[in-house]
Structure 1
C-alpha cells in the first residue's frame, strides 16, 4: 500500500490537472487573448510576438513593431491587396514607355510598384506580429528584409542604421505603390474607353450627326464613371499621406502667391535646445509665422520692371522704340493685374539682382490630415567645429493630440512610440505600442446593436416568474392579455395589472403608441398600489381577489427584470494595455509610464480619432 503523503500528492496533482482542463475548455479565449485582469504578467506576455536581433537589427525590429500597432495601416493594406486580386493582374501588367513629361520610365521599377511588392511583404510581416499565440513566440524579420532588398535593388546594411531613415524609405515606397496602382487603374480604364469608342464608331451605320451624339453620350458616361472611381480612391487613400501648404505674404505690397501643397508621410519636428520642452512647442516652432528678409517678391519685381520701362519710354526719341516700349508696358500691366507669378515671356525684365528686396511672412498650414500621423523628433545638433551631437532634452507628449486650428481641427490618439538609448552615433531602439485587436483578427461587428444577434436589451424585458409557484388561472388570463399587448406593440408584455381588461381594452388598437401608453399606465398603477415589506421577495398579506397574480411572483418578476436590465446595460471597460518591446524581450507597462518616457522619445505614432469608434 503506498504511503499517505504520496497519495495526497497524487490526489492534488490530479485535481490541479482537472481544474486546468476545465479552465482551458470553457475559457480558451481568456488564456489566449490575455484579457483577464487577474492573469499573471508572464501569461499575458504570450499575446505579443517578438523579433530576433542577430546583427544590429533593432532599427528594423522597432519599425515593424510600431507599424504592427497601427490598425488603419493594416486595414489599408488588406483592402488594397484584395482590390488588386479582384481586378486581375492584367490591370497592373501594362507599363507605358514614357511618362506625362516625355521622360523614359524604368519599366522594371514601375512594374514592381504596380504589383505592390513592399505592401504585400509588409502585410505578411505585420500579420505574423499580430497573431495571438498561446506560448511565447519570437520570429525573424529576414523575410521582409529580403523584400526590401529586392524592391530597392540593394542590400540592407546592418551597421548602426537610423530607424527614422528606414521608416521614411518604407513609407515613401508604400505611397509610391499606392499612386502607381491608381495610375495603372486609370490607364486601364482609359484603354477600355478608347476600345469601346472605336467599336462604337466602326459598328455604327448611322450618319455623322448620330455618331457624334452617341460619342458625346458615351464620353459623358465614361467621364462620370472615372470621376466616381477617382473620388472613391481619394476618400480611401494612403493613410500615412498628408499635405501641407507654405503660404508667403509680402509685407510691402501684401501680395500672397498661390500656395503649392507638399505631401508628406512623416512630420519632422525640431526639438529645441533646452532642458525640457513639450510636443506643442515643437509644433509651434514648425507651424509658427516666420519673418524672412531679402526676399524677391514677384509682384514687386514686376512693379520695378514697369517703372523701368516707363522711364525708358519718357526718354525714348524714335517712334519705333516708343512703340516697342509701350507694348512692353501694356504686357507688364496685364501681368500685374492677372497673375504676377507669370511674367510676360516676350518682355525682357531687369535682372533679379536689381529688383528690390522685401520682407515676407511665411507660415505652414496643414492642408490634408493623414489618418496616421507619424512624428519624428529630430534630436541632431550640428556643430561646424565638432562632430554631431544628440539633443537630450525631455519632450513631454499627450495621449490625445489636437492638430489644426479652431475651425479645422483633428484629434489624434497615441498608438505607439520609438525610444532611442545612447549617443548620436550608436545606441539601441525600443518600441512601446498599445495593444489592440486589429484586422484581420478583429471582429468589428461583435458589438453591433442591430440584427438578430443584437446585444442591446429590450426596453420592456420579459419578466421571469418564480419556478416554485405554479401559475393560477388569473395568471394565465393575464399572460394572454400581455401576449395580445405584445402583438400590438411588437414587444413582450410586462408585469402585473390591477384588474382584468375589458373587451374594449383588449381589442386591437390601430395606434401602437396608445396601446403602449395604456399598458405602461396599468403597470405603474399596479406597482404603486402593491404594498411591499422591508425584505425584498417577502410579500405582505394581501387579499387574493385584489391582485391577479401572487405578490411574490410580481415582486420576483420585477426584481429579476431590474437585475437583468442592469446586467445587460453594464459595459465591460476596455483594458488599456501597453507593451515595451526590445527585440524579443517584452515587458508590460502602464500609460503613465509611457507618458513619462520623455528623455528618450524619438518617434511618435498617432491615429486619428473618429466619431462612433471606441479606442479599445
Structure 2
C-alpha cells in the first residue's frame, strides 16, 4: 500500500478541464445587502466592544459533553483574523449560496458564535446552537463521543465553504491532456479549473495547491499532478538523538519516495508498470496554512499516539525549500494551536491562540481562558498548527477579495 507519509487532506482532484461556457453564469449575484449596512453593523460591534471593560476574544466555550475537540477548533478559527472579520462584518450574508442543502444555517450560526466570542461580556458561552447545525451537516458528530479535532475542522470548513460558495452552477467537465504544458502553466490551469467549481472566502484563506511529481526510473518520463489541499498531514520524524523540528517533519513529507513492487504505477510513456519515484512540493501557498501533526497511528490493529515533542517556530517559518520553485519565499507566523493531551483511547483538547488585538497568547480550555507566555506554546501536545502568511514573493495564484 502507499506510504502513510503521503497521506494528506485534499479535495477531490479536479484534473479534467471545464467545457467553455459563460463564466458570468457560474457565479451568483450578491444579495442586496448594501455596503453601508455592513459597515454600520461592524461599527456597532466596535462600539459595543468599547463599552465592555474586558478585552474581546477572551470568551470561553462551555463543554456540552465531550465537545472539547469542537471548542478547541472554534477558538482557533475565531482567532483567524480575516475569517473573524468576515463574520463580524456579516459579509457572509452577501455570499450565501441558495443551492446549499442546509439553508446556510451552519455559516450563520458560526458567524453568530464568532461574534459572541468577540463581543460577549460573559466569561463563557454555550455553542449549543452551532453544535445542532454542525450535527445536521455532519451526522457523525451526533452524540457525545470524543472526536478528532482535525477531522472536525475539515468537516466544518467544507460545510462553511459550501454555504458561501460563489459558484452556483458548476461547469461540465471533460478529460484533457495537459502534459504538453509546462509545470507552471499546468498548475495555473488546474487552479483556475478548481476555482470554477469551488470559490469562496474559505477557499481564499485555507486552500493551497500541492504538486506531485512522478518519475519513471526506466525511461525518465516525468508526470505532474496538481491537487488542492485544505491542510497538510505531516508525519512525525522518529529520532534516537536530537530534537525533532517542524521542518524535519516537512522534509520527511516532501522526501522523494520510491514506488516499487505492488506500488509500481503505470508509466504514461512506457505503457507499463514501472518502478518510479514520487515527490511532493507546494505549488501555491495558502494564506492560512494548517499543519496536522500525525500523532495517531493508522493501524487498525492497535491504536497508538506519538507524544514526540516537535519544535516549531512561532514566527518567521520560511518554507522556501518546500516550494515547487526554489525562488519562491513564503514566510508564516503562528497564531493558534489545537492541543491534545492523553492517549489514543481518550484525552482532552485545548487551544492556544494569539489575540491579535492584545498581541498576547491565551490558553482556551473549554470555559476557562487564561493568559500564557509565548514560551509555553510549544508542547508535546501540539496537534494542529495554524500559520498565517506574512510574506510571499509568489503572485501567480494570489486572490484578493474582501
TM-score, normalising length: structure 2: 0.69
1:57 maps to which of 61, 67, 80: 67
2:250 maps to which of 256, 271, 283: 283
Task: Provide the rounded CA distance (Å) in 2 between the counterparts of 1:369 and 1:602.
Answer: 21
**Where in structure 1 are there 5+ consecutive unaligned residues?**
1-27, 35-45, 86-91, 94-109, 188-226, 302-354, 438-574, 612-616
Q: Partner of 2:214: helix, strand, or coil?
A: strand
- When residues 30 and 83 of structure 1 are mapped into structure 2, their CA distance, relative to the original with a 3 A threshold, is closer
Task: Provide the rounded CA distance (Å) in 2 between the counterparts of 1:361 and 1:154.
Answer: 37
Post-superposition CA distance 1:94-113 (Å, at most 9, x none): xxxxxxxxxxxxxxxx4326
- When residues 402 and 392 of structure 1 are mapped into structure 2, their CA distance, relative to the original with a 3 A threshold, is same
Q: Which residue is equivalent to 1:131?
A: 119
Q: Are 1:399 and 2:314 an aligned pair?
A: yes
Q: Partner of 1:388: helix, strand, or coil?
A: coil
Task: Provide the rounded CA distance (Å) in 2 between the counterparts of 1:130 and 1:57.
Answer: 20
- When residues 73 and 29 of structure 1 are mapped into structure 2, their CA distance, relative to the original with a 3 A threshold, is closer
2:382 maps to which of 601, 606, 613: 601
Q: Are 1:252 and 2:223 an aligned pair?
A: no
Q: Which residue is equivalent to 2:270?
A: 300
Higher share in strand: 2
Task: Provide the rounded CA distance (Å) in 2 between the counterparts of 1:586 and 1:286.
Answer: 34
Q: Are 1:389 and 2:304 an aligned pair?
A: yes
Does structure 2 conserve the Cα–Cα contact (< 8 Å) formed by 1:175 and 1:238? no
Does structure 2 conserve the Cα–Cα contact (< 8 Å) formed by 1:246 and 1:260? yes
Does structure 2 conserve the Cα–Cα contact (< 8 Å) formed by 1:48 and 1:132? no
Q: Which residue is equivalent to 1:241?
A: 207
Task: Provide the rounded CA distance (Å) in 1 between the counterparts of 2:78 and 2:202.
Answer: 20
Please state how far the C-alpha of 1:273 moved relative to its aligned partner.
3.2
Please state how far the C-alpha of 1:424 moved relative to its aligned partner.
0.7
After the TM superposition, which residues 213-252 of structure 1 pair with which residues of structure 2 at under 5 Å, given as runs?
237-252=203-218
Please state how far the C-alpha of 1:272 moved relative to its aligned partner.
2.3
Q: Which residue is equivalent to 1:548?
A: none
- When residues 237 and 60 of structure 1 are mapped into structure 2, their CA distance, relative to the original with a 3 A threshold, is closer
Does structure 2 conserve the Cα–Cα contact (< 8 Å) formed by 1:240 and 1:265? yes
Please state how far the C-alpha of 1:29 moved relative to its aligned partner.
5.5
Task: Provide the rounded CA distance (Å) in 1 between the counterparts of 2:207 and 2:136.
Answer: 24
- When residues 234 and 366 of structure 1 are mapped into structure 2, their CA distance, relative to the original with a 3 A threshold, is farther
Please state how far the C-alpha of 1:266 moved relative to its aligned partner.
1.6
Q: Which residue is equivalent to 1:112?
A: 101
Post-superposition CA distance 1:162-190 (Å, at most 9, x none): 111111111222233344x3234999xxx
Please state how far the C-alpha of 1:379 moved relative to its aligned partner.
0.8
2:285 maps to which of 347, 369, 383: 369
Q: Are 1:269 and 2:234 an aligned pair?
A: yes
Does structure 1 conserve the Cα–Cα contact (< 8 Å) formed by 2:100 and 2:162? no
Higher share in helix: 1
Q: Which residue is equivalent to 1:193?
A: none
After the TM superposition, which residues 28-427 of structure 1 pair with which residues of structure 2 at under 5 Å, given as runs?
32=53, 34=55, 48-77=58-87, 78=89, 80-84=91-95, 92-93=97-98, 110-112=99-101, 115-131=103-119, 133=121, 136-152=122-138, 156-179=142-165, 181-184=166-169, 237-257=203-223, 259-274=224-239, 276-294=243-261, 295=264, 296-301=266-271, 355=272, 357-382=273-298, 387-400=302-315, 401-404=317-320, 405=323, 406-427=326-347
Please state how far the C-alpha of 1:138 moved relative to its aligned partner.
0.9
Q: Partner of 2:339: helix, strand, or coil?
A: strand
**Where in structure 2 are there 5+ consecutive unaligned residues?**
1-48, 173-192, 393-402
Please state how far the C-alpha of 1:154 moved relative to its aligned partner.
6.3
Q: Which residue is equivalent to 1:544?
A: none
- When residues 262 and 422 of structure 1 are mapped into structure 2, their CA distance, relative to the original with a 3 A threshold, is same
Please provide the CA RMSD for this pair.
Answer: 3.1
Q: Partner of 2:345: helix, strand, or coil?
A: coil
Please state how far the C-alpha of 1:126 moved relative to its aligned partner.
1.1
Task: Provide the rounded CA distance (Å) in 2 between the counterparts of 1:370 and 1:242.
Answer: 4
- When residues 388 and 273 of structure 1 are mapped into structure 2, their CA distance, relative to the original with a 3 A threshold, is farther
Q: Partner of 1:183: helix, strand, or coil?
A: coil
Does structure 2 conserve the Cα–Cα contact (< 8 Å) formed by 1:117 and 1:151? no
Q: Partner of 1:112: helix, strand, or coil?
A: coil
TM-score, normalising length: structure 1: 0.46
Does structure 1 conserve the Cα–Cα contact (< 8 Å) formed by 2:64 and 2:128? no
Please state how far the C-alpha of 1:392 moved relative to its aligned partner.
1.3
Q: Which residue is equivalent to 1:588?
A: 371
Does structure 1 conserve the Cα–Cα contact (< 8 Å) formed by 2:336 and 2:353? yes
Task: Provide the rounded CA distance (Å) in 2 between the counterparts of 1:182 and 1:138.
Answer: 37
Please state how far the C-alpha of 1:256 moved relative to its aligned partner.
1.5
Does structure 2 conserve the Cα–Cα contact (< 8 Å) formed by 1:48 and 1:129? yes
- When residues 184 and 358 of structure 1 are mapped into structure 2, their CA distance, relative to the original with a 3 A threshold, is closer
